[in-house]
Amino acid sequence: MSNDKNRVIIFDTTLRDGEQSPGATMTLEEKLQVAGLLDEMGVDVIEAGFPIASPGDFESVSEVAKLVKNASVAGLSRASEKDINAAAEAVRHCARPRIHTFISTSPVHMKYKLRKEPDEVLELIVSSVTHARGKVEDVEWSAEDATRTEHDFLCRCVEAAIKAGATTINIPDTVGYTVPEEFTALITMLRERVPGADEVIFSTHCHNDLGLAVANSLAGVKAGARQIECTINGLGERAGNAALEEVVMAMNVRRDVFPFTTGIDATMLTRASKLVSAATSFPVQYNKAIVGRNAFAHESGIHQDGMLKHTQTYEIMTPEAVGAGKTSLVMGKHSGRHAFARKLEELGYKLADNAFQDAFQRFKELADRKKHVYDEDIEALVDENIATATDARKVVALTVIAGTMGPQMATLTVDAGDGHQTVQATGNGPVDATFNAIKKAFPHDAKLALYQVHSVTHGTDAQAEVSVRLEDEKAGLSSTSKAADPDTLVASAKAYLAALNRLEAKRQRVRPEGGENISEEARRSGP
Ligand code: KIV
Ligand code: ZN
Q: How far is the CA of 175 from the centre of ligand 2 (A)?
A: 8
C-alpha closest to that of 142 among 120, 127, 155, 161: 161
Q: Read off the pLDDT of each residue in 510-527 and give the average, rounded to a whole number.
A: 34
Ligand found nearest the CA of 50: 1
Q: Read off the pLDDT of each residue in 9-28 and give the average, rounded to a whole number.
A: 94
Question: Does 527 have pLDDT greater than 80?
Answer: no
Question: Does 1 have pLDDT greater than 60?
Answer: no
pLDDT value for 99: 98
Per-residue pLDDT band for 397 (boundaries 50, 70, 90) equals: very high
Higher per-residue confidence, 7 vs 364: 7
Q: How far is the CA of 402 from the centre of ligand 1 (A)?
A: 48
Q: What is the mean pLDDT of the chain?
A: 89
Question: Does 42 have pLDDT greater than 70?
Answer: yes
Rounded Cα–Cα distance for residues 115 and 303 (Å): 57
Q: How far is the CA of 189 from the centre of ligand 2 (A)?
A: 22
Backbone angles phi, psi at 295, to 5 degrees: -60, -25
Contact 77, 52 (CB under 8 A): yes
Residue-wise pLDDT for 398-435, tens only, equals 999 999 887 899 999 999 878 899 999 999 999 999 99
Residue-wise pLDDT for 60-116, tens only, equals 999 999 999 999 999 999 999 999 999 999 999 999 999 999 999 999 999 999 999
Per-residue pLDDT band for 475 (boundaries 50, 70, 90) equals: confident
Nearest CA to ligand 1 atom 8: 17
Q: What share of the chain is helix, strand, coil (3-state, %, to 5)?
A: 45, 20, 35
Residue-wise pLDDT for 109-149, tens only, equals 999 999 999 999 999 999 999 999 999 999 999 999 999 99
Ligand 1 atom closest to Cα of 145? 3
Contact 7, 262 (CB under 8 A): yes
Ligand 1 atom closest to Cα of 20? 8
Rounded Cα–Cα distance for residues 198 and 172 (Å): 19
pLDDT value for 52: 98
pLDDT value for 2: 60
Q: What angle separates helix 55-67 from helix 28-41, to the nearest 10 degrees? A: 30
Which of 15, 17, 106 maximizes ligand 1 atoms within 8 Å of its Cβ, making it the mutation to test the pocket?
17
Helical spans, DSSP H, in 282-352: 301-309, 337-346
Which of 12, 14, 101, 142 maximizes ligand 1 atoms within 8 Å of its Cβ, making it the mutation to test the pocket?
142
Ligand 1 atom closest to Cα of 16? 8
Residue-wise pLDDT for 381-393, tens only, equals 776 544 444 566 8
pLDDT value for 106: 98
Question: Does 525 have pLDDT greater than 50?
Answer: no
Q: How far is the CA of 9 from the centre of ligand 1 (A)?
A: 17
Ligand 1 atom closest to Cα of 146? 3
Ligand 1 atom closest to Cα of 76? 6
β-pairing, 477-485 vs 9-12, is unpaired
Nearest CA to ligand 1 atom 1: 174
Q: Read off the pLDDT of each residue in 284-307 and give the average, rounded to a whole number.
A: 88
Contact 480, 499 (CB under 8 A): yes
Ligand 1 atom closest to Cα of 207? 1
Q: How far is the CA of 144 from the centre of ligand 1 (A)?
A: 6
Which of 207, 217, 241 maximizes ligand 1 atoms within 8 Å of its Cβ, making it the mutation to test the pocket?
207
| Domains of the chain and CATH, by start | 9-280 (3.20.20.70), 301-388 (no CATH), 394-510 (3.30.160.270)
Per-residue pLDDT band for 513 (boundaries 50, 70, 90) equals: very low
Q: How far is the CA of 40 from the centre of ligand 2 (A)?
A: 24
C-alpha closest to that of 522 among 306, 333, 351, 372: 351
pLDDT value for 392: 67
Q: What are the E-state strand segments in 379-441?
A: 393-401, 408-416, 420-427
Per-residue pLDDT band for 457 (boundaries 50, 70, 90) equals: low
Q: How far is the CA of 178 from the centre of ligand 1 (A)?
A: 14
Contact 440, 465 (CB under 8 A): no
Residues with CB under 6 A from ligand 1: 17, 102, 142, 144, 170, 172, 174, 205, 207
